[in-house]
Amino acid sequence: MRKILFKGIHIRKDLNNLIQKLNLRVLLMIFLLVIIAGVMIHRLFVLQIINGESYLDNFQLKIRREVSISPTRGNIYDRNGNLLAYNKMAYSVTINDQIESGPDHDSELNAIIEKTIEIVEKNEGEITGDFNIALSADETTYEYTVSGTNLLRFLADIYGYQDTSSLDYSERNTTADEMIRLLADRYGISEEGRSPQRLLQMITIRYMLSLNSYNKYISSTIAVNINENAVSEILENANILKGVDIEDVTSRVYVDGTYFCHILGYTVRSPPRSWRIIRRRASPMTRMILSEKAVLKNPWKLFCRGRREAELYM
């Protein structure tokens, strides 16, 4: 009887010890869960309330881009209703790199560019582009169109340097012909069977595309004021000319602009410093015309231009 009693007492003590251990573990688990929940709530509060707006703005900057579209300016008439300035509809050829990366990227893109050039020139169009190398007078060699600091900046951009001081002696003294050969090799453009003019055109377009390599939603304009035959042929070959498109633009036309420049303004932009130099050295009559330009045209500039629009890319 005593043995049974002692056994019952020991079992009860063991159960109490087990319950105490379990309660301690449960309390520790609850404590850890409370800490984890508190950390998560604090983190969510920081993400959603404190930094939510900045994170949302950064995310939208990564997935959304806005490209400004310049508004079309209105017509200008004199007091008798005679047209002084108007807009003429024109077509431009644009291109962007839509070829997937791979071993055939350069060859496919170069074929598209060359086919587009052939269509434009066949229909009396002209390839345009902002490039600091041009054909020399003999049309067999090349020359730089800039010098000094601008040339060093161009060379630094080609070689991938942020500062012109990073250029070594050989890079600073790279000739235009050597630069053309370097870019032709970089872009996978063969010199065989191509004229110096065609080689320069293709390199110019590839260089313009490289400037927008991180903004592929932005197209590069390679020809302006092309005729309707070129437009139709490019649209007919849209299935093979991947990335090539036709853009409707307006060309500003000034009727007798030479005589009404003091009212209509200048069709070529001039830097403020050069404008001040011209005004300082000009004759009294020219200074009066420049003053009238500032008085008559500038107050109506925004009114005639209209509101700027934006195109959204996702």
Give domain limits for the chain: 2-63, 66-82+256-314, 86-254
Q: With bands split at pLDDT 50, 70 and 90, how would you rate the model's confidence at 97?
A: confident
DSSP 225: S
Angle at 193 between CA 232 and CA 121, to 5 degrees: 25
Phi then psi dihedrals of residue 242, to 5 deg: -70, 125
Look at residue 296 in the predicted model and tell me its pLDDT: 45
DSSP 7-44: HHHHHHHHHHHHHHHHHHHHHHHHHHHHHHHHHHHHHH
Cα–Cα distances in Å, from 11 out to 16, 22, 25, 275? 9, 16, 21, 105
Look at residue 204 in the predicted model and tell me its pLDDT: 94
The answer, yes or no, to whether residue 117 has pLDDT greater than 80, is yes
Q: With bands split at pLDDT 50, 70 and 90, how would you rate the model's confidence at 112?
A: very high
Sign of CA dihedral 206, 208, 210, 215: negative
Beta strand segments in 169-273, E = 220-224, 244-254
Element (H, E) at 114: helix 105-122
Q: Looking up tokens 């007798």, which residue turns up?
A: 256
Q: Work out the percent of the chain whose per-residue pLDDT is above 70.
A: 69
Helices (H), 46-95: 52-63
d(CA 43, CA 234): 55
In sequence order, the 6+-apart residues with CB closer than 8 A to the CB of 302 are: none
Look at residue 263 in the predicted model and tell me its pLDDT: 66
Q: What does pLDDT average to over the chain?
A: 78
